């Protein structure tokens, strides 16, 4: 497996966005890259390009190498993807 990266997109400062970020910080393996954005503008960060909020909710994308898993919107789903 390649390097792991997680993109979190959601409204900055919103509780659901911050909870996904905290989940990554607590549960992701050492060396995981975290990028965060609003889901509208990638800010030139490749990991955030074409990453959108699912159903208007804060959403996380867990990627290894150049392959991303299905997007998730809850801390529980995110934690499960990070521990696989």
Q: What is the mean pLDDT of residues 44-71?
A: 94
- Write out pLDDT tens, residues 63-81: 998 799 999 999 999 999 9
Classified as helix, coil or strand, 75 is helix
CA triple 70-76-81, angle to 5 deg:
40
User: Residue 84: its pLDDT value, please?
Assistant: 72
How confident is the model over 47-75, as a mean pLDDT? Answer: 95
Answer with the residue of higher pLDDT: 19 or 66. Answer: 19
């Amino acid at each position: 497996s390649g390097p792991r990266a997680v993109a979190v997109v959601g409204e900055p400062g919103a509780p659901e966005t911050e909870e996904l970020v905290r989940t990554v910080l607590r549960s992701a393996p050492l060396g995981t890259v975290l990028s965060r954005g609003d889901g509208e503008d990638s800010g030139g960060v490749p990991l955030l390009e074409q990453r959108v909020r699912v159903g208007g909710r804060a959403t996380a994308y867990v990627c290894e190498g150049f392959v991303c898993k299905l997007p998730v919107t809850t801390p529980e789903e995110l934690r499960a993807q990070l521990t696989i």
